[in-house]
Amino acid sequence: MVLPPPYALFVLDASISKEFLDDCLQRAHDGDPTPGWSFWVASTSYADMPAPPQTDKPDEEGTEPPLPDSWTSHWIGKTVEECAQWLQKQPTYEGEKYYLDSSVRQGYFVAMDEWSKEDGTMLVCRVSKKEDGEELNVDFFPQRVEEVQMQMWTNEGSMWENKAQAYRDTVRKEGKPDRSRF
């Protein structure tokens, strides 16, 4: 199944500069043959989110670089679980004019952590509920920036697990640290 954008992008580490983020947004966009900007750089306001998809209007896109010079991330030092909790609380929309009930996908997002700059990656995050049905579980694996936008389109079903396992197999074979959790 295809999961249409936009997807939230959370910057969790202070080492990610505006210039580096601009470059990553461009590289992610250029690595995907489909048109459009798929990542919305998360602020802390739901009002900043793209409008939810509607049947009678073109879909709004994510963030196109360059970001404003004044940009800073309000997510530095936060966890992927905190990002997921925030996404779950976004406003939902009902009615026949909306073909999705939220502005950005709630079950999948990307994050940039302390390894993103060194490794040239973003974390591909998947959100699920724990067995108690209350707490959220966030699984993730790093994906090369140039491949991450295309990856996000195909996360449903077994594709996420297949890509995560392929990442884990590759780093183990190469003797590199495993930066995934699933």
Q: For residues 4 and 153, what is the distance between their CA atoms, to the nearest angstrom?
A: 6
> Binning pLDDT at 50, 70 and 90, where does residue 34 land?
confident
> Binning pLDDT at 50, 70 and 90, where does residue 12 land?
very high
Q: For residues 182 and 178, what is the distance between their CA atoms, to the nearest angstrom?
A: 11
Reading across the β-sheet that carries 121-129, which strands appear in turn? Answer: 39-41, 7-11, 108-112, 121-129, 136-144
* 8-state DSSP, 173: H
Q: For residues 148 and 154, what is the distance between their CA atoms, to the nearest angstrom?
A: 10
Please, are residues 110 and 153 in contact by the beta-carbon 8 Å criterion?
A: no
Structure confidence by residue, pLDDT tens digits, 56-102: 777 788 999 999 999 999 999 999 999 999 999 988 777 766 555 67
| DSSP reduced 3-state for 167 | helix
**Residue 135 burial (C-beta neighbours within 10 Å; 0-12, 13-18, 19+):** exposed
**What residue has token string 């679980």?**
81
* pLDDT computed for residue 178 by the predictor: 97
> Binning pLDDT at 50, 70 and 90, where does residue 35 land?
confident
